[in-house]
Amino acid sequence: MCVRVSLSQCSPGAMFSRRWRFGWDSYSEVDLFTTRYDTSTETLSQAIQAAASEGPDADGSVLFGHLRGTVVGLKYYTGVVNQGEMVGLVRQPQNPYDRNAVMVANIYGNQVGHIKRELAAAMAHVMDNNLAKVEGVVHSRTTNSFTMPVMLSFWGKEENKSAVTEFMARRGYKLNTGFKVVITFFHIYSSFVQLKNAFDNLFEGLMESKDGEKEAAEAVGTPLLPHQKQALSWMCARENKSSLPPFWEKRGELYYNSLTCFSAKEVPERVCGGILADDMGLGKTLTTIALILTNFHKGRPLPVEKCVRFSVGECYISSVHATTPACVHPCLLSTCRRRSLLKSKPKLNHRWPPNLKVTLVTKSLSKTEKDDILCVCVCVLCEGVESAMAETADDLSARATLIISPLSVLSNWLDQFEQHVRPDVKLNVYLYYGSDRNRSKKFLSTQDVVITTYNVLSADFGVSVDSPLHGISWLRVVLDEGHIIRNPNAQMSKAVLDLKAQRRWILSGTPIQNSIKDMWMLLAFLRLKPFDVREWWNRVIQRPVTQGDRTGLQNLQTLVKCITLRRTKSSEVNGRPLVSLPEKTVCVEQVELSRSEREEYELARTEGRNTIRRYVAEGTILRNYADVLAILMRLRQHCCHPDLLSKTSSDLGASATPAELRERLIEKLRSVLASGSDEECSVCLDSVRLPVITHCAHVYCRPCITEVISTEQETAKCPLCRNEIKTSELVEFPQELMEEESSTNSENWRTSSKVQSLMGNLLRLRCDDGSIKSLVVSQFTRFLTILETPLREHGFRFVRLDGTMNQKRRTRVIEEFQSSAADSPTVMLLSLKAGGVGLNLTAASHVFLMDPAWNPATEEQCIDRCHRLGQMRKVVVTKFIVKDSVEEKMVAIQRKKQDLVEKAFGSTNSDRKTSRIDDIKALMEL
């Protein structure tokens, strides 16, 4: 090697004034790069990926400005760029010629060139210190083939803006600023609210031109409904057709991506699979089972062993002809041996050879012979597996489908396979779960289906280098409830992304739960190029959408449309509803309080109203929100049963010690949550998960409020009352108390008007038709406990399902309830929040909603557990509402709230705040 340096190497600061130079006489850059970089396993795309995920999130970033830069060294690299194409900028601190080097790469991670030295030096400082994220777009090409201009944009946190701008200016690079973009919490928040609504529409109307139907393979025992045949047809097409992924088009010889302006000679890798986002109850599981059996390689059905029982006395195996007599199914062999039919001695093999033929001869048989011949003969449904082998590049030896599901629905998968696969078909389904699971890769990869849970998968992934599931080339990976993997940093998500598969599917009723970020994980799993790389996703979709860009949203919509099939129960196909469910009637039964109940209620109401009046007058209603909720809660509890009221909680007023404050906050939290009410988190607008209470007594999801705090840092304020909040001051409900809550005293039990109304209904029903089953639903688990006494007294057989039960018990309870046995329970006491999605309670045809919920959707969800596919009877829903009470007003607000959600486009946080105050006023008749 001959390196000639005209000037001695110097400090980075002096580098600009002096020049240095290398000779290339006997040394090519290829050698240099292979020795330098090939020792590292990191690929360029991984480097880009890593760079993008380390940097600040696109959400909170502001644009510092633009700068026109130069990409040099084009002729040394193969990466090509088109006009308007986005490029990635990656720091190369290990570059032997310049540790400030900034590499330029195209969407596919192919190197295009480098940023010119001086500019790179300035950028390196900014990039290395995480002051800004720099993005590049190549707007125009110059005619020469050595350099090209690149438009650089600098993005980062507001507080770094001036530092970056000044630094660049000192180096002689002026950042051109367009209009000033200021993003505050409320900014993000209101655009988030808008998005949430836009998302609701995102998955709507995805039915167009997906209306072909496909019959399932013979092995599927359950006839598919028309919409399921459509889904099957669509899924098969997504797996088999080689249509271009969204935004790709053929332009002459090249394939062109209209979003990133990238083009390539090769066909872009197609996405085999997609998102099946049908509403729950439309049969995603059955459709998936049908897909597994129907669409093996080359669109042929999965070759499965099918046991054929010949009708007695008619058929008789006379001889076995096999082109390869080496293998005979052991089951058949036993018969052959007995009858001495085999000429040669075959080896045993469980897999039936494709061209083995069995000749059957009819013969009259004696009784014993008939019994003998009732042996099982095994046939093959699909022939020609081997011949298909050589034809395509795909690995046709991949056989198994891996299904990953939450633990709670694991048993459902097994049941559904049992139920929908014809009993005479032998499908190898292996449950990869439990400590004694078979970890043999050979064993697993020869199964037809392997089912496991997200937890098992990620546990395996974390523990050992050669996780069995990660070592297998799957034919197909299916993520059930795929929205579970929405956090890309979670171990679970990484484990899922690392799976090797030809085809990938996501099943989910709610593909986007919180934000557009959720979507990235799904696309990354599906390997939808180029969006599986975070930078391109951020730049092309996420940032434009979060900043309210219409085209960004349109692009996202197009993207989603291409890979998603979503139908709701109300969707129509050719003017007819997708599924015809039995009629559902909802009636409200007014309950009159007894005199003593009314007296107690009015007492509590007057007291509460005075308190709230005071808050309204002081303008402190939101500051005392928890207290207000507690008052409302007490009233709601009065409506159900007097014993629901917890011991009067002390007033928050003056809190002497921190321990005392904590005690009182927990008490507040208890009154909000413990009884099972459905409180809404004001950040995500959903029911609270992992509830925490702030020192200003507002309840949020822990992740939501933590994010708010980390975004706003020291200046973090409570989104509801703008008091200062700190992560360290968030209080959780202690687990020990959780358990205490459930204990109740069953001696001196008393009834209530609502209990009477329910019992009257149940007794009447039992009289009319003893086989009718009912769900009795309440938000208050303690109310369910109270209801147990009269049910027992009247000799009802009942079960109970609430959030405290573990999975095993839940499954058993549901099984018991769903059973049609004569002595099976006819009533299920159900806590409104228990189970959430996926429960199948079709045995019930009557639903009694004991108390109104804040969120009408929760009620609907609950009703849907029995008003769904498989329901044979008309469904009757009875809502008990106490006359002249807070419950009546809640119903009115429910309706208003639903309107609000529907029209909420543009509703801001402050709108919501005032609407909350209005709600409270209305509830208390102020």
Partner DNA sequence: ACCGCCGGGTGCC
Interacting residues with DNA (CB under 7 A): 6, 19, 22, 24, 29, 72-73, 76, 95, 97-98, 100-101, 113-117, 120, 143-144, 146-147
State which residue, 19 or 180, has the beta carbon closest to DNA. Answer: 19
| Distance, first Cα to last Cα, the chain | 89
Smallest distance from the beta carbon of 115 to DNA, in angstroms? 7
Q: Pick from 159, 131, 194, 130: which is nearest to 712 by CA?
A: 159
Cα gap 713→783, rounded to integer Å: 42
State which residue, 29 or 816, has the beta carbon closest to DNA. Answer: 29
State which residue, 28 or 387, has the beta carbon closest to DNA. Answer: 28
State which residue, 24 or 186, has the beta carbon closest to DNA. Answer: 24
Smallest distance from the beta carbon of 530 to DNA, in angstroms? 23
Smallest distance from the beta carbon of 539 to DNA, in angstroms? 24
Angle formed at CA 537 by CA 531 and CA 542, multiple of 5 degrees = 145
State which residue, 116 or 569, has the beta carbon closest to DNA. Answer: 116
State which residue, 112 or 206, has the beta carbon closest to DNA. Answer: 112
Cα gap 513→687, rounded to integer Å: 12
State which residue, 70 or 858, has the beta carbon closest to DNA. Answer: 70
State which residue, 71 or 235, has the beta carbon closest to DNA. Answer: 71
Q: Residue 802, class by beta-carbon neighbours within 10 Å (0-12 exposed, 13-18 middle, 19+ buried)?
A: buried
Residue 58, C-beta contacts closer than 8 angstroms, at least 6 positions apart: 155, 538, 539, 542, 543, 546
Contact by Cβ (8 Å): 56, 39 = no
State which residue, 114 or 426, has the beta carbon closest to DNA. Answer: 114
Contact by Cβ (8 Å): 698, 718 = yes
Contact by Cβ (8 Å): 589, 600 = no
Helical spans, DSSP H, in 375-472: 385-389, 407-420, 441-445, 454-463
State which residue, 24 or 443, has the beta carbon closest to DNA. Answer: 24
Cα gap 576→876, rounded to integer Å: 23
Smallest distance from the beta carbon of 112 to DNA, in angstroms? 10
Smallest distance from the beta carbon of 24 to DNA, in angstroms? 5
Residue 54: other Cβ atoms inside 10 A: 10
- DSSP annotation of 298: G
- DSSP annotation of 448: S
Smallest distance from the beta carbon of 266 to DNA, in angstroms? 25
Smallest distance from the beta carbon of 155 to DNA, in angstroms? 22
Smallest distance from the beta carbon of 118 to DNA, in angstroms? 7
Cα gap 462→465, rounded to integer Å: 8
State which residue, 171 or 609, has the beta carbon closest to DNA. Answer: 171
Q: Are strands 875-882 and 263-264 parallel, antiparallel or unpaired?
A: unpaired
State which residue, 115 or 841, has the beta carbon closest to DNA. Answer: 115
Smallest distance from the beta carbon of 14 to DNA, in angstroms? 15
Smallest distance from the beta carbon of 79 to DNA, in angstroms? 12
Strands of the sheet containing 827-831, edge to edge, are: 584-591, 875-882, 844-849, 773-778, 827-831, 798-801
Cα gap 598→387, rounded to integer Å: 81
Contact by Cβ (8 Å): 732, 766 = no
Smallest distance from the beta carbon of 51 to DNA, in angstroms? 17
Smallest distance from the beta carbon of 89 to DNA, in angstroms? 12
Smallest distance from the beta carbon of 483 to DNA, in angstroms? 44
State which residue, 113 or 509, has the beta carbon closest to DNA. Answer: 113
Residue 313: other Cβ atoms inside 10 A: 16
| Buried residues in 575-609 as b, exposed as e (16+ CB within 10 A) | eeebbebeebeeeeeebebeeebbeebeebbeebb
Smallest distance from the beta carbon of 463 to DNA, in angstroms? 41
In DSSP terms, which residues pair with 477 in a beta bridge? 402, 504
Residue 498: other Cβ atoms inside 10 A: 13
Residue 483, C-beta contacts closer than 8 angstroms, at least 6 positions apart: 508, 510, 511, 512, 513, 518, 522
Contact by Cβ (8 Å): 781, 805 = no
State which residue, 73 or 226, has the beta carbon closest to DNA. Answer: 73
State which residue, 12 or 760, has the beta carbon closest to DNA. Answer: 12
Contact by Cβ (8 Å): 103, 90 = yes
Cα gap 110→100, rounded to integer Å: 20
Smallest distance from the beta carbon of 152 to DNA, in angstroms? 15
Cα gap 540→555, rounded to integer Å: 9
